[in-house]
Each structure stands twice: as structure tokens, then as C-alpha cells.
Amino acid sequence: MRFSWWVVVVAVGCGGPVRKAGSCDGPCPASKIDHVVIVVQENHTFDSYYGRYCTAPVGSAPTCNAGPACCEAGPEHEPSGASPVALDDAANGGYDPNHNQDCELDELDGGKLDKFVTGTVCGDARNFAYATPEVVQPYWQLAAGGALADRFFQPIAGASASNDMYLARANFVFTDNDFIPDAIGKECSFIQTPMTFTDPTIGDLLVARGVSWTWYSEGYQAMVDARKLGHCPDADDACGAGLSIYPCVYDPSDVPFQYYAPFRDNPTFLRDYTAFAKDLAAGKLPQVSFVKAIGYRSEHPGLHTTISAGTAFVSSVLKLVQASDYAADTLVLLVYDEGGGFYDHVQPPADSAVDGKPYGTRVPLTAIGPFARKNFVTHVVLEHSSIVKFLEWNWLGMQTGQLATRDAVVNNLGSVLDPAATGVAVPE
């Protein structure tokens, strides 16, 4: 299946293409990007998905940007001499690598990257895996039609929730999956320690500016309805694990803003994924949208979760946007929360000077839509906090670093954006 971005003829307003002449859907952005949709999938490294897409020699550090020849292929052997296993749907659903921080740091081995297979109790031959072209082809086609970042790193070594927090706070909040929000659905999670935090987030900054934003989570309404009756939702028939718990039901720990009282279960800021299509059709899409699949469609390894279910979900999101009146002024960012314990051959940056926490492996980021460079590979070092920085720049008067966290020091997203389309050069 090939994804193409629809051409939509619209009027031009103060922030670029919009549906009504002379207006924006809120405060006018600095660029022509009046809407951003951030799709957050799970637990794969850059090499695990693009090790067979990129073709430059290992270690060549290409400086060109024109497609697969300008990013490094994954190595044929990792440091212990093992060969990669084929990561297809069955392999993805059959094994979940240990991706807690202590294990990941052992495997990274101070930048040697030599203990993913052997040399530590966390090592396993299945940690060194490359997705088969057939299963990941939809993402390769998105990269060919958009911009792929080959130096986008998970902001902290460790599990999902700790990395998701950087999409809200751009800073360390807690390690691994240590806490769950004190929110609807907490009783239906593996994580059992509820917690609330009070530091400001990008959500607070957007609200203060009058910029609309919402997190759309698949399975949220089913959780709300089930909890009203005092039980957890039944597993969807499509979820191979057959559990009334992750990955078959919504988990509030997947939504970083749920840890903050002003946004917790607030229908302005958290809606079921079914509302995404309704908001698009009704002309009510927020300027900033986060989209999260239910676990079995997030690509998270183990418990019978398939990559194909994830590519189908992402395809559904893109088709909804492409078929809407928002197509011409929307940037879609497809990002992964963390690497899931899979091997990647590129050494992470030094520990953050802001919060002192160690970076994890590379994860994929793809910019999609009319504002993305085409068939482009950027080598600029990026992370989740770079998305926060871009949101600040685009809607908060080009003033970045307002959280005084990593948003003050990380690179912006300009390297994946086409200045001819955005109408202004977004900083790199």
C-alpha cells in the first residue's frame, strides 16, 4: 500500500493554509503549519525497522540526505558476532525484550553496544532483529515520501512511561514504568503505584496561549464505560492476548498528561480515538493532537501483538487526515516511545546536561505531509523534547525553552521540514 498526501485547495490565512480565509484555528502559528498530529507507537529501534531500508555502509556517517543511500544500513553482525533474526509479525508477537533501564544500560555498555545478545542476563539473540521488508514496507514508503530522522533517540534509557513523559514535560519525571496516573483505568494496569505530578507541561503552555490540544486514545471510552460498572473492559476479539488488561485495553500510563490533575480524564484534553474522525469531519480538530493506539495495535512486542496491526492503525490515521479539510495545513509526526530493548548500532549521545539522565537507543521519527521534506534523511540529533520545542516555537511566539527543561537545549525539527512549504525556515 502506498501512502500519498492529498492535494487540497484552501484559502490562505494569517498562519498559512486554513479552511476560512483570514483566520486560523486558534492563535496563528509562526509557520503555515496550523495543525500537528503526533502519532505515538511503541518499542522499536531505528535499526529494527530501517536496518534493511538504509543502504550506506555501517560506520560511514553519510552527510547526504537523499533517501536510503544516505543513512547507514544495520550491521550484518552485532559485536558478539551474532546475525540478525527476522522480525515478522510472529516474531514480534512472540517475544518482548527486557527494556527496563538497568537492562538497557547493561546492553549499551557505556556506548560499546555489545551486550544485547550476550554478556548480560538481559541479552538474547532475539534482541538483534531486523523487520522483514514485507511487514514494514508501509513505513518504508512513508519515509520515501517524507522525512526520516536517523539520529532521533529515546530521551531516557528504559521503559515506555518514562519516555512518554518527555512529550509532556521535556524532562525526567520518573524511571521506567514506576508509576501510573491516579486516573480512570488504573485498576486495569500492570502498574500499581498511582502518582500525580505538578510541574508545568507543554499542555499548560498551550492552554495559556489559547492553543487547542487533545490526546486521542484508542479504547479510552470502553475503559470509562467498564469502570462505571466496576470492572475492566473485555478484551477485543482482535487482541490475541485475550486479556482485560494491556495490551487488550486502554492503559492510562500511555498518556503522559494523565499524571497532571488539570488534564486528567478531562474531556477537553483526553478523548477516545473514535472522536478523532468526528472532530476532523466536524471541523473541530485541535491545533495539536496526540494519537495513541490501543496496545495490541501499538506494535509493542510480545503478547501476540503484530507489526501489521500497527501499520494498519497508522494508515487509518493518515487516511482520515488526508481525506479531511485539514490535509493541506497539517504536519503528521510518527514517533516511537522507546526502542523496546532491541539492538541499534549507533551510540547514544552523552547523558543529558539538563537532567543528567542517560539517552537510550535510536527510535524512528518520520515527518509526513505537505510540510515534510521528501525522500529526505536528516542526521540532526533529535529526541521527544524536540517535538515540545517545535510546538513552543510554532505557537508560543517562537520562544522556546519556556519549560526550562530540555526544551531549552535540544534541536528543533527544522531539518525535517521544507521551508518552501512552511513559509519560514524552522530552526534546526
pLDDT tens digit string along 79-127?
999 999 999 999 999 999 999 999 999 999 999 999 999 999 999 999 9
State how far Cα 33 lies from the chain centre.
Answer: 19
Query: Quick one: pLDDT band at residue 12, thresholds 50, 70, 90?
Result: very low
How much is the mean pLDDT over the chain?
Answer: 95
One-letter identity of residue 116: F
β-strands 152-153, 180-181 pairing: unpaired
pLDDT in tens, 13-43: 344 334 453 469 899 999 999 999 999 999 9
Residue 427 included in any domain: no
Residue 231 included in any domain: yes
Residues 6+ apart with CB under 8 A from 330: 33, 34, 35, 36, 37, 321, 369, 370
CA atoms of 92 and 302, how far apart (whole Å): 6
Range 198-216 average pLDDT = 98
Phi, psi of 81 (to 5 degrees): 100, 0
Query: Quick one: pLDDT band at residue 8, thresholds 50, 70, 90?
Result: very low
Residue 336 included in any domain: yes
State how far Cα 164 lies from the chain centre.
Answer: 8
| Percentage above 90 pLDDT, the chain | 94
pLDDT of residue 88: 98
**Residues 325 and 4: beta-carbon distance below 8 Å:** no
β-strands 147-149, 365-368 pairing: antiparallel
Residue 254 included in any domain: yes
How many separate domains does the chain show?
1
CATH number reported for the structural domain that contains residue 176 in this entry: 3.40.720.10
Residue listed under C-alpha cell 490540544: 213
Query: Is residue 198's pLDDT more than 80?
Result: yes
Residue 337 included in any domain: yes
Cβ-in-10-Å burial (0-12, 13-18, 19+) of 332 comes to buried
**Residues 314 and 299: beta-carbon distance below 8 Å:** no
* Boundaries of domain holding 265: 11-422
Residue 78 included in any domain: yes
pLDDT of residue 11: 31
Residue listed under C-alpha cell 488526508: 322
Query: Quick one: pLDDT band at residue 194, thresholds 50, 70, 90?
Result: very high
**Residues 26 and 18: beta-carbon distance below 8 Å:** no
Residue 305 included in any domain: yes
Query: Is residue 3's pLDDT more than 90?
Result: no
Range 352-380 average pLDDT = 98
pLDDT of residue 123: 97
**Residues 173 and 197: beta-carbon distance below 8 Å:** yes
- 3-state SS of 355-396 is CCCCCCCECCEEEECCCECCCEEECCCEEHHHHHHHHHHHHC
Query: Is residue 304's pLDDT more than 70?
Result: yes
Residue 207 included in any domain: yes
Query: Quick one: pLDDT band at residue 1, thresholds 50, 70, 90?
Result: very low
Residues 6+ apart with CB under 8 A from 165: 171, 172, 173, 174, 256, 259
pLDDT of residue 114: 98
Which set of grid coordinates corresponds to residue 424? 519560514
| Percentage above 70 pLDDT, the chain | 95
pLDDT of residue 4: 47
State how far Cα 217 lies from the chain centre.
Answer: 13
Query: Is residue 65's pLDDT more than 50?
Result: yes
pLDDT in tens, 320-351: 999 999 999 999 999 999 999 999 999 999 99
Query: Quick one: pLDDT band at residue 288, thresholds 50, 70, 90?
Result: very high
Q: By C-alpha distance, which of 372, 374, 370, 366 is closest to 417?
A: 372
